[in-house]
Structure formats: structure tokens, C-alpha cells
Amino acid sequence: MNEIFVILIVIFITGLTVYIHQKLKNQATKQDIAGITNEVEKVKSKYIFQLEELKLDLEHKSAAVSQKRDLYKKVTDTMRIFIRGGGSTAEKKEDFLRSYQHIWLWGSDEVVSNLTKFIRSQLVNSDENQNNDQTEAKKAYANCIISMRKDVGYIDTKLTSSDYEFINLD
């Protein structure tokens, strides 16, 4: 009977050992899963944060390009006052000066430079005694338009100043 009792104790201890071992293994697996889940959530939240930053940056850039397009439209509408037949009124002159100031704030360096070259060419050619065919003024005007196109996204444009046609309907 003693032998049976010893055998039962050995079986019980062996079973208990296996049971405890399995419980510890399961606990370790749960901890591993919790750790992995925690790491996945950290990475996920990092990428969600970065994605939101990128979205916000893209929205700001999109808004800036939209504002530039509006500004460039105003400038090009009023630049025609310098070209013969462009219809120069006091209101258009004032609109041009206001837009020119805004170009210095928001325009790219290339746009500011080309617009300044255009204005300087107009100042040089403003002498009414000169018989000016406005070829250089028109070229400078077209270069301004091309630089504005590039600044709002048409970077690879193949257009040149000679592609722009001036049309006078007067």
C-alpha cells in the first residue's frame, strides 16, 4: 500500500508539475502577445501621427498654391496695362500695384525676378518719343507668365515666350 501511495504521489506531483509548467507557458505567451500588441500599437500610432502631419502639410501647400494661382491671375489680368492696347485705367493701375506688392510676399524668386525685369523694361521703354514695337516687353511679359506656371505646378513646361500670342481686339 505504501508503494501505491508513493506511485499516486509521484503521479500527482508529475501531473502538478506539468500543469504548472503549462500554466506558466500560457502566462508567458499572454505576456508575449501583450508585448507584441503594445509594440504594434506604438508603431501604428507613430505612423498615424506622421500621416496626419503629412496630410496637414499637403493641405497647407495646396492652399498656398491655390492662393498663388489667384494672385497670379490678378497680376496677369493687370499686367496688360503695360502692353499697347491693354486698356490702362486708374483702377487697373492700382490693382497692379497692390498685386505687385503681394507678389513680393508670396511669389517664387523666379516670378519676382521676371516681373521686376518686365517692369524695368517698361520703365526704360516708357519714353513716348521712342518708337517701341514692344517686342522685349512682350517677351518679358510671357516670361512672367511662364515662371508663374512653373511656380503653381507646371514645372516641366516646354512653353517659351515665343509661344505666347498677344491678341488685341480693339
pLDDT of residue 87: 66
Residue 55 is assigned to a structural domain of this protein: yes
Average pLDDT, the chain: 83
Give yes or no for residue 1 having a pLDDT over 60.
Answer: yes
Per-residue confidence (pLDDT) for residue 58, from 0 to 100? 93
Grid look-up 503695360 returns: 82
| Per-residue confidence band for 129, with pLDDT thresholds at 50, 70 and 90 | very low
Task: List for the chain the helix, strand, coil content (%; round to 5).
Answer: 80, 0, 20
User: Which range marks the domain in which residue 26 is found?
Assistant: 2-163
With bands split at pLDDT 50, 70 and 90, how would you rate the model's confidence at 57? very high
**Is residue 139 over pLDDT 60?**
yes
Residue 131 within any structural domain of the chain = yes
Dist. CA 166–CA 68, nearest whole Å:
23
Global pTM? 0.62
pLDDT score for 92: 82
Task: Tell me, yes or no, whether 32 lies in a domain.
Answer: yes
Angle at 101 between CA 97 and CA 106, to 5 degrees: 140
Position 56 in a domain:
yes
42 lies in some domain: yes
Distance from C-alpha of 62 to C-alpha of 152, rounded to nearest angstrom: 10
Question: Count of domains in the chain?
Answer: 1
Does residue 170 lie in a domain region? no
Residue with grid cell 509521484, as numbered in its chain: 10
Residue 42: half-sphere exposure toward Cβ, Cα within 13 Å: 6
Determine, yes or no, domain membership for 168. Answer: no
Residue 164 to residue 130: CA distance in whole angstroms = 24
Residue 97, classed as helix, strand or coil, is: helix
pLDDT digits (tens, 9 = 90+) for 6-54: 787 788 888 878 888 887 777 767 777 878 888 888 989 999 999 999 9
